[in-house]
């Protein structure tokens, strides 16, 4: 089940079913991920994993939220895991994805974990669980472990600049629990290795936020200074420059930063950080960044101290980017961490080469703003070559909500291309919820905890129908988590209370690989579905290859699909609606 990239942004796979498709899918990133379970264990370290055929999960666990559904547990002094730098380059940064326990009363703890390079101690890495361990349905707040909730959201990512010389290509790194490392247990999921280049320099004809009073040393609030720079640049026809540094944005101004109509450049996502230090519990706090027509935003990291989900709520979470506008916009090389969704509406917008980590909502969501608004139509928006891990809702999604009165426009022309979705702790890896002319192509999903690797249908009872969607060349590993009826891929339809009770979900799936689902490989349910399946590969599902539930109406045109490595007692196709859902091949 583990996916171990051998080159930047791509998975090493064994020869066999779908290997060429797997090599082509997903984002091309400047880093490579090494799964902890692929390493060499030391001391009493052990691998913990979930595999197809194991009892289906009924609750979130550290295993279900890990990429590859596997982790390495370091519990005793001397436990260690050693990984090799297989990037082909020296690595001067790491991103360690790991979990340590919560505090008994919630709020998290902080503890170090030691890093060795080629067997020699290099530095202590500081880990924290302050933004991990939420509790679903807790009676007080989602951060309270003693309020009857179910724990989930166990992991966090920890970016690290390597002290001293970079980690040479081909050398090893070791994460080891020594006596100074005081957490009761360290559950290590993966490590990213990257060679980060020099910081970018100030562009010509730009205004620096530092000149307007912004503080790159993180000592005083920079919200007003940054907005003043943007406003001046808009008036003068110039761009905005945010130099290297960490900028505090905790001012209780009446509205969030608004970059509409301006080009805003940082020095790089490892160098320029806009950090939202939210007063928790928060009250009437909005810290999103507004992107409108004519905006370009590049080379920044956006982070916060938010502790649980709820846009503008007490947990301090808010959108990373909130994009709209009929005139187009561009987001390139940004990294959002501990925010809610990157909420993408408007027309002719593009998000590319970006990252989302440890979010409290979707990684990247194309939508119509859930409103009747000419600036939020959701037309021809492209999300391409992005990487999302540990999202608190769908990693990549397009939603088309008609509204209670059915007056919102239909999202059209959404394109979700060559992205990588890893280990969302809630919802799906990929989701199509209504729309027209949707294209979802060459994406990679690796492990989903609660829901499906891919969910195709509509947005609740007010969602527009899915008029047409093409899903091709995607690689979908895992799926079928603990949250109710979930499978590797799920195709559904409007519910009986929908505004469009007679509309069909219309989708074509071609040349996709669905591997290692924790339940059925592909599941079709509810009522109105027209599905064309051509040349798809379903490999090693825990249950049926394809399962059509009772009560489904519609048609299935199935051609050239293959189901491999069924477990004993399972069937390739099970149609429980033979009189109402006709399969032709």
**Are 46 and 148 within one domain?**
yes
pLDDT, tens digit, for every residue of 140-167?
999 999 999 999 999 999 999 999 999 9
Domain boundary among 194, 220, 245: 194
Q: Where are the alpha helices (DSSP H) in 401-468?
A: none
CA atoms within 13 A on the CB side of 34: 23
CB contact at 8 A, 320 and 342: yes
**Are 179 and 146 within one domain?**
yes
251: in domain = yes
**Are 188 and 248 within one domain?**
no
**Are 41 and 188 within one domain?**
yes
**Are 66 and 156 within one domain?**
yes
**Are 40 and 174 within one domain?**
yes
323: in domain = yes
Q: Structural domain tally of the chain?
A: 2
Q: Where are the alpha helices (DSSP H) in 160-260?
A: 223-236
pTM over 0.85: yes
**Are 48 and 169 within one domain?**
yes
Share the mean pLDDT of the chain. Answer: 94
Residue 126 is predicted with a pLDDT of: 98
pLDDT, tens digit, for every residue of 51-81?
989 998 999 999 999 999 999 999 999 999 9
Tokens of 401: 């909500």
pLDDT, tens digit, for every residue of 527-582?
999 999 999 999 999 999 999 999 999 999 999 999 999 999 999 999 999 999 99
Residue 270 has pLDDT above 80, yes or no: yes
**Are 236 and 264 within one domain?**
yes
Residue 310 is predicted with a pLDDT of: 87
Domain boundary among 151, 175, 194: 194
Strands (E) in 345-442, as ranges, are 349-352, 355-357, 364-366, 382-384, 387-389, 396-399, 415-417, 420-422, 430-433, 438-441
395: in domain = no
**Are 228 and 130 within one domain?**
no
**Are 172 and 258 within one domain?**
no
CATH number of the domain to which 122 belongs: 2.60.120.260
In whole angstroms, what is the distance from residue 564 CA to residue 578 CA?
Answer: 23
**Are 79 and 138 within one domain?**
yes
366: in domain = no
77: in domain = yes
CB contact at 8 A, 406 and 49: no
pLDDT, tens digit, for every residue of 168-205?
999 999 999 999 999 999 999 999 999 999 999 999 99
Residue 279 is predicted with a pLDDT of: 82
Distances in Å between the Cα of 565 and the Cα atoms of 76, 192, 217, 541, 568 are 38, 31, 56, 8, 9
Residue numbers of the domain that contains 67: 30-194
Domain boundary among 274, 304, 332: 332
In whole angstroms, what is the distance from residue 565 CA to residue 516 CA?
Answer: 10
Count of CB atoms within 10 A of residue 219's CB?
9
In whole angstroms, what is the distance from residue 124 CA to residue 108 CA?
Answer: 19
By three-state DSSP, how is residue 57 classified?
A: coil
Residue of 405, 401, 375 lying closest to 458 (CA atoms): 401
Computed on alpha carbons and rounded to an integer, the radius of gyration of the chain in Å comes to: 23
425: in domain = no
**Are 70 and 96 within one domain?**
yes
By three-state DSSP, how is residue 69 classified?
A: helix
529: in domain = no
441: in domain = no
Which residues have CB under 8 Å from 315's CB, separation 6+?
A: 141, 142, 143, 280, 281, 282, 306, 307, 308, 309, 360
Tokens of 207: 């205004």
In whole angstroms, what is the distance from residue 525 CA to residue 528 CA?
Answer: 9
CB contact at 8 A, 369 and 345: yes
Strand partners, 297: 264, 331
Could you give phi then psi for residue 423, rounded to 5 degrees? 50, 55
In whole angstroms, what is the distance from residue 470 CA to residue 444 CA?
Answer: 16
Minimum mean pLDDT range among 9-13, 68-72, 92-96, 98-102: 9-13
């Amino acid at each position: 089940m583990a996916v171990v990239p051998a080159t930047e942004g791509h998975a090493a796979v064994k020869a066999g079913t779908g290997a060429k498709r797997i090599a082509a899918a997903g984002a091309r990133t400047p880093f490579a991920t090494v799964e902890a379970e692929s390493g060499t264990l030391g001391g009493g370290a052990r691998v913990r994993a979930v595999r197809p055929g194991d009892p289906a999960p009924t609750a979130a666990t550290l295993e279900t939220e890990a990429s590859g559904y596997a982790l390495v547990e370091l519990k005793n002094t001397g436990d260690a895991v050693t990984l090799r730098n297989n990037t082909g380059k020296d690595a001067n940064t790491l991103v360690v994805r790991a979990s340590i326990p919560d505090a008994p009363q919630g709020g998290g703890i902080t503890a170090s974990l030691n890093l060795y390079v080629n067997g020699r101690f290099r530095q202590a890495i500081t880990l924290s669980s302050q933004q991990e361990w939420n509790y679903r349905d807790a009676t007080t707040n989602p951060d309270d472990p003693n309020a009857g909730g179910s724990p989930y959201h166990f992991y966090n990512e920890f970016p690290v600049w390597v002290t001293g010389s970079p980690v040479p290509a081909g050398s090893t790194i070791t994460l080891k629990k020594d006596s100074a490392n005081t957490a009761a247990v360290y559950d290590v999921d993966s490590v990213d290795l990257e060679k980060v280049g020099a910081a970018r320099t100030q562009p010509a004809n730009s205004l620096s936020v530092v000149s307007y009073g912004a503080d790159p040393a993180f000592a005083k609030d920079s919200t007003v200074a940054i907005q003043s720079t943007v406003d001046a640049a808009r008036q003068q026809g110039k761009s905005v420059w945010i130099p290297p540094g960490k900028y505090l944005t905790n001012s209780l101004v009446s509205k969030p930063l608004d970059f509409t109509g301006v080009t805003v450049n940082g020095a790089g996502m490892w160098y320029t950080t806009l950090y939202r230090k939210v007063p928790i519990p928060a009250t009437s706090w909005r810290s999103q960044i507004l992107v409108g027509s004519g905006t370009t935003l590049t080379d920044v990291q956006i982070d916060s101290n938010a502790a649980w989900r709820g846009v503008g709520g007490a947990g301090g979470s808010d959108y990373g980017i909130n994009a709209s506008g009929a005139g187009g916009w561009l987001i390139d090389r940004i990294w959002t961490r501990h925010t809610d969704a990157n909420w993408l509406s408007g027309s002719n917008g593009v998000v590319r080469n970006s990252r989302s980590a440890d979010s409290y909502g979707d990684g990247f969501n194309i939508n119509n703003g859930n409103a009747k608004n000419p600036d939020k139509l959701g037309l021809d928006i492209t999300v391409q070559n992005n990487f999302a891990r540990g999202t608190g809702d769908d990693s990549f999604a397009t939603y088309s909500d008609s509204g209670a009165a059915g007056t919102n426009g239909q999202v059209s022309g959404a394109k979700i291309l060559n992205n990588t979705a890893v280990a969302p702790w809630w919802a799906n890896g990929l989701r199509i919820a209504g729309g027209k002319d949707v294209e979802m192509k060459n994406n990679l999903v690796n492990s989903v905890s609660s829901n499906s690797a891919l969910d195709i249908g509509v947005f609740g009872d007010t969602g527009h129908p899915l008029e047409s969607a093409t899903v091709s060349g995607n690689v979908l590993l895992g799926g079928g988590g603990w949250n109710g009826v979930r499978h590797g891929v799920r195709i559904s339809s409007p519910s009986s209370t929908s505004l469009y009770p007679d509309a069909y979900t219309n989708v074509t799936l071609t040349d996709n690989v669905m591997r290692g689902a924790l339940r059925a490989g592909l599941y079709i349910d509810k009522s109105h579905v027209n599905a064309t399946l051509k040349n798809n590969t379903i490999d090693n599902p825990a249950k049926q290859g394809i399962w059509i539930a009772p009560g489904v109406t519609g048609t299935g045109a199935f051609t050239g699909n293959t189901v491999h490595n069924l477990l004993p007692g399972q069937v390739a196709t099970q149609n429980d609606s033979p009189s109402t859902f006709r399969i032709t091949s």
